[in-house]
Amino acid sequence: MTKFARQGRDDQFGKDPYYLREVSKGPFYIVRGKLDTPTSLNGVRVTSDLEVVDKNNHVIPGLYAIGHDAGGVYGDSYDFAVCEGGASAFAINSGRMAVNHILGKK
């Protein structure tokens, strides 16, 4: 909370004062995360812009896949046991990448 940063101590969680920073200017975004066991890996084939391609590697216009549904991300191995947040990070970032492509941003 902002008040903890101002007073220099975290009365709620006991966070080290060194890491307290006041955040008072937006915009702010909230993402609710959930740890879950993945049910699929290496889904459909996609381009570097997350566009889904058919069996002949032709882009299917308007169809995107992100997160675990995007194939070719992990190759022959998967880092779930080493870095549990890796899957969530890719799911969130690939969603951002796909939307930026849809909007014409890179």
Indicate whether 102 pLDDT > 90.
yes
Distance between CA atoms of 17 and 45, rounded to whole angstroms?
A: 47
- Which amino acid would we find at residue 34? K
Distance between CA atoms of 17 and 10, rounded to whole angstroms?
A: 7
CA distances from 15 to 8, 10, 30, 59, 99 (A): 10, 5, 21, 49, 35
Mean pLDDT of 17-46: 77
- pTM of this structure: 0.52
Indicate whether 95 pLDDT > 80.
yes
Indicate whether 43 pLDDT > 50.
yes
Q: What is the pLDDT of residues 65-91, one digit of tens each?
A: 988 788 766 555 555 554 556 667 778
Q: What angle do CA 95, 101, 26 make, to 5 degrees?
A: 60
Radius of gyration of the chain (CA): 19
